[in-house]
Structures are given as structure tokens and as C-alpha cells.
Amino acid sequence: MGVVSIAVPAIDRWYFTEMVRGAQQRIVAAGHEPRLHRVALSDGSTAVATATLHADFQDPEVIGAVAGGFRYRAGAQTVETSWKRPLVLVGGSALGFPTVMVDDLTAGRTATEHLRGLGHTRIAHFTTSMEHQAGHLIIRRRAKGYHLAMGAGGLEPLVVEHDLDQTAAFEAARRVLRAPDRPTAVFGVTDDIAIGVLEAARELGLQPGRDLSVVGFNDQPEALAEDLTTIRIRPAEMGAAAVDMLLAGLTPGLDPARSHLHSSTLVIRSSTGPARTATGRSSAVR
């Protein structure tokens, strides 16, 4: 029996809870023991996570590690570390390490094209700064998918940046949705962001799916409760797939060719509907 280390920035957020659950179940099923580390996000969290895993790798019982939510890059900070065991990342915020990730670019484009197909032409993307610690490349890829879909339709992008939490999205949406040229549709970078937009819309008397269409990303339990159209991902399966890669005999070091794309699905619910014209009629593409 060996030990597989797991490092994440949070264990009380749906995505990481599910990822850890899937990884731990697969580790135990393979006859090994999981060792969980929580490293809170900060400017130095990648360095702390790197040092934590490096320390674990001095233990002869540790056979490898799975990490998610940190900005690992193929730079001096990681390459100079002696990776004595294989490391697999979950989520896509990596350059060079084997990674299990969603095709966030395609998913972001799919979400935006769904809104375009409903006849919306003023579609906003609610997201956070591209330099945010959590999911740096994930955020960029979802934004790129949005921009590609808008460009394909000859539409002007409208990006609204704010802190990556529901309250910040709510405050930003209250401001944006009061404007006379407000968007008629929103693609939120996560479900939490999309739900914050929905809350602001309702406060302003806008009915989701009629006056404002909103799409999220993740399909966490709150999305179903809000009847939110969203991109469904499966982080538990991603955590398990990362462990499978690890146990399949990976050698330590950088090799992005060994990465794996995990599928996602658009789940349509009542938060999206046809764009309405000045006469109140539907303008959806037929």
C-alpha cells in the first residue's frame, strides 16, 4: 500500500469537495491511502503547495500527488523542485504537467452560442480578473470561448470583471442591469456568479428566462435549485481520472501530451429563453 497526496485550496467549495471525493474513492479502491492538504489561496499559495508536496515526496510511502486550483506553471518555481514522484493536476491551470481538464474554451463558446441561438445580441460575460489566483487558465479559456462565439456572430463583447464570488457578481449586476442599454443575456464564469446575476435581476424586477437570460458553469446543486441553464462538469470523475493517470505508471516531470480532456454538457433550464423585441415578441433564431 502506498500514499497519494492531494492538495487543494478549499474543501468546503463544491468543486473541490467533489474532486477530492472522487480522488479519495479511487485511491482507496486501488488499495492506497489518501493524504489531504488544504493550502488556502494567496499570492504565495503555489509555492506553499509546491513545498508541501515536495516534503511529502521525501516519504518513501508516497507514490504521487494530485493537485487542483493552483497556478502551477513550467517555470523556475516548479521545475527547480526535484519531483521525485509524479504529479497530476486537475482543472487546467497548468503548463507542462499532466492534467485532467474540461475543454473550457469549447464549453464557453457553447454557452455563448446557446444565447446567440435564442436571438440575443447584447450578451455580457461576468467573470473575474484574468490574473485571479484560482483557475487562471480556466478563466482565460472560458473567456476566449465567449469572445470566439461573439466574434462569429459579429457581436460586440461586453466583459464585466469583479471579485470571484456571488456577492460581487450581485453588486456588479445591479449596476450593469440598471443601464438603459443593459445586456439581455449573461454568461457567468461559474454558477455562483450566474446566481448572483439572477438575484440582482429579480431585485430589479427582471424575470429570468424572459427579461434576462443567464447561463452558468459547473452545474453544482444550487444551479438546479435556481433552475439555471449551465455547463455541467463532473469534478468527482475528474479527480478519479487524475488518480487513474497517476497509478498507470506516470514518470515524474513535465509532459503536457499526457493530459486528458474531460467532457462537459450544456443543461438547459428556465433561466434562458428567447430574446424579446421592443414589441415583446420573441426574436429567437428559428
- Tens of pLDDT, residue by residue over 196-226, are 999 999 999 999 999 999 999 999 999 999 9
239-283 per-position pLDDT tens digit: 999 999 999 887 776 666 677 888 899 999 999 999 986 434 444
Cβ atoms 2, 86 nearer than 8 A = no
Q: What is the CATH number of domain 3-102+234-263?
A: 3.40.50.2300
Segment 50-103, tens digit of pLDDT: 889 989 999 999 999 999 887 765 554 444 455 778 889 998 656 678 889 999
Helix (H) or strand (E) holding 246: helix 235-247
Distance between first and last Cα of the chain: 59
Give the helix/strand (H/E) hosting 76. Answer: helix 76-79
CA 194 – CA 192 distance, rounded (Å): 5
Does the predicted TM-score (pTM) go above 0.85?
Answer: yes
CATH architecture for the domain at 104-233: 3-Layer(aba) Sandwich (3.40)
All three cell numbers of 231: 455547463
Q: Where are the domains of the chain?
A: 3-102+234-263, 104-233
**Strand runs labelled E in the chain:** 3-8, 33-38, 62-68, 87-90, 99-102, 123-127, 158-161, 185-188, 213-218, 229-232, 260-262, 265-267
pLDDT at 127 over 50: yes
Let me know if the fold of 3-102+234-263 is the same as that of 104-233.
Answer: yes
